[in-house]
Amino acid sequence: MFQNDVAFQMFSTSLDIFKAEDDIYELGLAYLGLGNYYLREKDLTPAVDFSELARTCFTKTGDKFHQSMALHLLGFIYVRAADFQTSKTMFTQALELSQEIGDDRGMFLRLNQLAGIACNEGDFEKAEAFYLESLALSRSFKDRFNQGIVLNNLASVNQPRHEYEKEAAALRESLEICREIGDREGVTVALNNLAELSVVLGEYQCAIDQSNQALKIALAVKDDWTIIAIYEILGAAHLGLGEMEKTHQFFKQAIELAYQIQSWDLLTRSAVNLAEVYQLQQDRDTAEDLLQAALSHPGILYEYGLKAIALLENMGVKPQEEKNEAYLMEVLDRYFDLRPSMD
C-alpha cells in the first residue's frame, strides 16, 4: 500500500497534526501506517517501534479491533525477523482480541499465521487444527479465494505425516477453486505443491510437467517466493531422474533469487537441499559448508534444521550450534558470488 516517499510524507505530516490535536485514535492510525511503510521498506526496527506506538494508542482508546491489527502487524514483522516465538505471542494476543469482539475475518487471518508458525516448529497436529478452523471460517463467509489458500496450506501439514491421499485431495480442491475464480497465483501454488507430491511419490516427469506449468504463471505475475519453490521442485525432480547438471542449475537459481529478495527461510531451505546434491556428488566439503551455514542462521525452518543435522551426522560431522547470521552470507557469497546482484 505504501510504496513511495509520498506515502511516508503523508503519514509523517499526519503525526504532527494529530499530536497537536491530541487525537489518539488518528495518531494510532498514522503510527500503524508508518509501521506498514517501514515493513514494506524492510526496515524492521522502525516498523516495530511505530507498530508498538499504534498498539499503545488503541489500548488507551479501548479500540480492540485496531489493537488486534497492530498486534497482527507486529506478528508479521517478527516473522520477517525470524523471531517466531515473539511473532506467535503477537498473533495469539491478536486472535484473542478478535475472538472477544467476534471479528471472524480477523480470526481467520490470525489462525493462518499461527498455523504457519506451528508448521515451522514441527507441530503439524496443531497446524492442522488451526487450518481446519480457518477453513471453516472462510466457508462460513463464502470466501472462495481464501478457501483455495487454506486448502493449499492444509495440504502441507499432511506430507510430513505421510498422509498423501489427504494431501492430494486438498490440493486438487484448491486447484479447482483457484481455476474457477481466476486466481493465477493460487493455481501456481497448487500446481507446484502437486509437483512436490509427485516427487515424493517418485513420479518425476509428472512433477517436471506440473512445475513447468506453474513456473510459466509465476514468472508472468512475478511471484518470487513461488518461483523459488518451483526451482527447488524442478531441482528435486531432475535429481530423481539422475540429471545432476540440471539439478544443480535449478537449486542455484533458487538460492540466487532467495538471496536477492533476502528471504532467509527460503535461502536456508535451498542451501540445505543443494547441500544434499553436493553430498550425492561426493563433494563433502561444499555440502558441509552449506549445511553448517544454513544451521547457523536463526531463520532456518524447523524441518530443514532437522534435515541439515541429519545430513551432517550421516557424514560424521558435528552440527553447528552457534547462531551467526553473517556466516551464511559469507559462505554463499564464496560459492555463488551473490553480493554483486544485490547492488
Question: What Å distances lie between residue 95 and 107, 136, 137, 141, CA to CA?
Answer: 6, 16, 13, 18
Lowest mean pLDDT among 34-38, 62-66, 168-172, 239-243: 34-38
Determine the pLDDT at residue 5. Answer: 61
Domain contains 161: no
If pLDDT is split at 50, 70 and 90, which confidence band does 339 have?
A: low
CATH of the domain at 68: 1.25.40.10
Kindly tell me if the per-residue pLDDT of 2 is higher than 50.
no
- Residue 17 is predicted with a pLDDT of 62
Q: Which of 54, 82, 110 represents a domain boundary (last residue)? A: 82
What does the pLDDT look like over 54-64, one tens digit per residue? 999 999 999 99
Indicate if the pLDDT at residue 341 is higher than 50.
Answer: no
Residue 68 located in a structural domain: yes
What is the pLDDT, as a whole number, of residue 52? Answer: 95
Domain boundary among 82, 98, 127: 82
pLDDT of 95 reads: 97
Mean pLDDT is lowest, of 84-88, 118-122, 187-191, 237-241, for: 118-122
Tell whether the model's pLDDT for residue 343 goes beyond 50.
no
pLDDT attached to residue 329: 81
Q: Pull the grid cell for residue 320.
A: 553447528
Task: Establish if 207 belongs to a structural domain.
Answer: no
Average pLDDT of the residues in 120-126 = 89
* Res 342 pLDDT > 60: no
Ranges assigned E (strand) in 119-265? none
What's the CA gap between 78 and 317, in Å, rounded?
A: 32
| Mean pLDDT (whole number) for 9-29 | 70
pLDDT of residue 11: 60
| 190 part of a folded domain | no
Asked if residue 248 belongs to a domain, the reply is: no
Residue 143 grid cell:
470466501
pLDDT at 110: 96
The pLDDT value given to residue 1: 42
When pLDDT is averaged across residues 289-312 and rounded to a whole number, the result is 88
Select, from the ranges 100-109, 290-299, 322-331, the one with the highest average predicted confidence (pLDDT).
100-109
What is the spatial distance between Cα 99 and Cα 112, in angstroms, rounded to a whole number? 14
| 198 is a domain residue | no
Domain count, the chain: 2
Give CA separation, 232 vs 74, 103, 248, 266, in Å. Answer: 30, 38, 10, 10
pLDDT of residue 15: 61
- The H or E element containing residue 17 is helix 5-21
Q: Which of 82, 98, 132 is the last residue before a domain boundary?
A: 82
67 lies in which domain range?
Answer: 1-82
